Amino acid sequence: MKKNSPETEAHSLNWTTPEGIMVKPLYTEKDLEGLSHLNTLPGVPPYTRGIRATMYAGRPWTLRQYAGFSTAKDTNAFFRECLAGGQRGLSVAFDLPTHRGYDSDHPRVVGDVGKAGVVINSVEDMKRLFEGIPLDEMSVSMTMNGAVLPILAFYILAAEEQGVKPDQLSGTIQNDILKEFLVRNTYIYPPQESMRIVGDIIAYCSTHMPKFNPISISGYHMHEAGATAVQELAYTLADGLAYVRTALSKGLKIDDFAPRLSFFFGIGMNFFMEVAKLRAARFLWAELMAKFNPQNPQSMMLRTHCQTSGVSLAAQDPDNNIVRTTLEALAAVLGGTQSLHTNALDEALGLPTTRTARIARNTQLILAEETGLTHVVDPLGGSYYVESLTHSLVEAARKLIQEVEDLGGMTKAVESGLPKLRIEEAALRRQIALDEAENTIVGVNKYRLEQEDDPSLLDIDTQAVQREQLSHLKHLKTHRDKNACEAALNNLASIAKSGKGNLLEATIHAARVRATLGEISFTLEGVFGRYEAHSPTLSGVYASSLQEEEGFKDVQKSVEAFQKDHGRRPKLLLVKLGQDGHDRGLKIIATAFADCGFDVEIGPLFSTPEEAARQAVENNAHVIGVSSMTAGHKTLVPALINALKDLDAHHIQVICGGILPTKDHEFLREAGVSSLFTPGTPVLRIIREVLGKLS
């Protein structure tokens, strides 16, 4: 019998990644022939090997922890502890009402205040957040997009009242609104008006804050929403192009602002793909920026922060998440990140505790100080595999970037909905692969423990936080100059209407006389309007992938039997309650149920419990499915059930899925929830259980 050659045997083991890139089990120098990004040095355009000649040998990456714990006072205490433990920069996570432009006294934010980050309503809250932390010495990163004007104004004034001038401030404001329309949904105003805000902030910072990055162009949230590495890479850089053009339209020259642009990528579990992604990003950005003829080489540099993946963390057997985060952090470092946040092991269940945050922080310290990683620049440079992957990502991302350009740029592409649909399809295919155990998640769909211990989780008393914030707001409004505040808000509205003047300058003036975040946001909303998304849901992805599976066929037959018995298909209304806009899981469930034969409707994002109950009754739904990620379920779900009772709709079942800690399950069942589904539950199992309770 003729024996296969080593090449033939190797070819049989080829693997196609979710990006459509074929990965071979063996790479040789032949795979590097003709690759355009080779033979360059670190610190030299196109910066594939790193933006600095010495990289970490000269200075390690900035160690950050992304944090926000209910009140400004509590978060300040955590920041101080992190700095004492070796952290070198601060990253602020804001709660959802703050992101969406609401003060804590607004009726739509019950259950969300301080729940998934720190609540900031005014300059006074920002001062409490940074009390005792010298802002002229500390690099501060703030993840804020929708309410970016008041938050940046509050930060500038908090520093001013410390005696720190704007030109002394260093750090980053995210200010990346396009990706909010793509995946994260914490927008306030429509796309065109939002881009005006982005441009005004870049213009102001270019003049007054030369050490501060006025935008962080984020692929991280695309990654978390299920985007492939190619999609994250291409759409992030396409967003960057849109922001460059917006800044140029303000009369700025490319070298006035481009050196202060920064990026933000997610780092997942395909180790070498993530290393190659960062290298490809630097190459592509230098290529794209060269078209604007910059005179300063730094205008072509892609500087990036990275965060280990949240979506790769598992609620089951969560100690495994320490290993996942370590590997992802290592990939970010080998890829050449400028700063890094490592997620804590319990972030698949809630906010990290002090203990788990310390483990996450120490993961970086160990990599930086115990491994020798910092002594060599781009240690994987020249790897046959990594260089080939880098090239493959460059080629694939170029095609997607050109597709966006053909649509008229990213703002137009966002309005068309195409990038959002592409990401949602990738997320669906990933979920199917997990459900079918084609991709292994240790402790979730393979090697699962029979009995798991309940981890100790941080629990936020949102009602107590809200009471404290209401007290602060009352005090502020009582002691400020009401007439000066009203005049400043009128001036802001006038500038918004006229299109003349800088919106950040006007916001700083309003914040100085103690206008609140909600007042500033609603003033602008009165001119710009509040954006409401209407995105279509994919169909047919589950059906095409699972049509030959017996389990899928059985579910379809059960739905058909229900329709025969009841005269109509089972109807599911899916809702997001409160200010949580993360809708990846909701879209996956919607597509799966629809492909199995359910009549599925998706409620508007940011619904109140009362609105969701009315919609369920008006549409004659059998079931309401609540998708929860940010821990508002203990307040919002009982309110939904009570609203159904008030409408005499006891027959409508309520089910919940998402981040639902085990300790909350009994509470939710006693409140009237019929079924609970945690991350990792196969979708077909969810559908079978729902059908079983309806029949």
Q: Which of 220, 228, 262, 223 is nearest to 393 (CA)?
A: 228
**CA distances (Å), origin 251, targets 248, 316, 517, 564:** 5, 52, 29, 66
Candidate list 102, 189, 204, 220, residue with the active-site label: 220
Number of neighbouring beta carbons within 10 Å of residue 560: 12
DSSP class of 180? I
Cite the DSSP H helix spans in 104-190. Answer: 123-129, 148-160, 178-179
Candidate list 221, 223, 622, 633, residue with the active-site label: 221
Known catalytic residue at 447? no
- Phi first, then psi: give them for residue 47, nearest 5 degrees: 65, 25
DSSP class of 147? T
* Amino acid making up residue 96: L
CA distance 250 to 195: 11
DSSP class of 339? E
Candidate list 47, 56, 66, 204, residue with the active-site label: 66
Known catalytic residue at 580? yes
Q: Which distant-in-sequence residues (6+ apart) come within 8 Å of 287 by Cβ? A: 46
* Amino acid making up residue 558: S
Cis-peptide, bond into residue 46, ω within 30° of zero: yes
Known catalytic residue at 385? no
Give 653's strand partners.
Answer: 623
CA distance 179 to 109: 23
Candidate list 582, 587, 633, 634, residue with the active-site label: 582
- Phi first, then psi: give them for residue 340, nearest 5 degrees: -150, 140
Candidate list 305, 576, 587, 633, residue with the active-site label: 576
CA distance 498 to 489: 14
Candidate list 239, 580, 583, 664, residue with the active-site label: 580
CA 404-260-336 angle, 5° bins: 80
Known catalytic residue at 582? yes
CB 557 within 8 A of CB 569: no
Known catalytic residue at 576? yes
Cite the DSSP H helix spans in 371-502. Answer: 384-406, 410-416, 418-435, 462-479, 482-498
CA distance 543 to 595: 6
Known catalytic residue at 235? no
Catalytic residues: 66, 220-221, 576, 580, 582
